[in-house]
Amino acid sequence: DAMVIQNPRYQVTQFGKPVTLSCSQTLNHNVMYWYQQKSSQAPKLLFHYYDKDFNNEADTPDNFQSRRPNTSFCFLDIRSPGLGDAAMYLCATKGASGSYNEQFFGPGTRLTVL
């Protein structure tokens, strides 16, 4: 089945130790998004790719970086995780260029920072 896959589902890292979260999709969608969702809060957009064009949200910390080596894969790198970065990280995709299209969410990666 076409889907959005995130690995790992659970990630534990130590304070300051770099971590990479991955997202892959079989939908062949050209837009991919990374959201951060903290407990009891709404998802917050960190950045998105339209094809290879990277779009950073103004308030996304420099500690967060992203890579999209091809259409199917997108990575979220957290260079020096702090305790405040513990959250669920959601990847989503959207097809075509129309604004009306649904965003499809992956299952998320829950990040714990010790």
Partner 1 sequence: GENVEQHPSTLSVQEGDSAVIKCTYSDSASNYFPWYKQELGKRPQLIIDIRSNVGEKKDQRIAVTLNKTAKHFSLHITETQPEDSAVYFCAENSYGKLTFGQGTILTVHP
Q: Is 23 in the site for partner 1 (CB under 8 A)?
A: no
Residues 55-94 within binding reach of partner 1 (CB under 8 A): 90, 94
CA triple 56-59-63, angle to 5 deg: 75
Tell whether residue 42 is a contact of partner 1 (CB under 8 A).
yes
Max Cα separation, the chain? 41
One-letter amino acid identity for 46?
A: L
Determine contact, residues 11/111, Cβ cutoff 8 Å. Answer: yes
Q: Which of 13, 63, 107, 112 binds partner 1 (CB under 8 A)?
A: 107
Q: In whole angstroms, what is the distance from residue 38 CA to residue 43 CA?
A: 7
Q: Is 105 in the site for partner 1 (CB under 8 A)?
A: yes
Q: Of the two residues 14 and 97, which places its CB atom closer to partner 1 in the complex?
A: 97
- Cβ pair 64, 46 in contact under 8 A: yes
Among 31, 32, 46, 76, which residue interacts with partner 1 (rule: CB under 8 A)? 31
Binding site for partner 1 (CB under 8 A): 31, 33, 40-45, 48, 50, 90, 94, 97, 99-100, 102-103, 105-108, 110
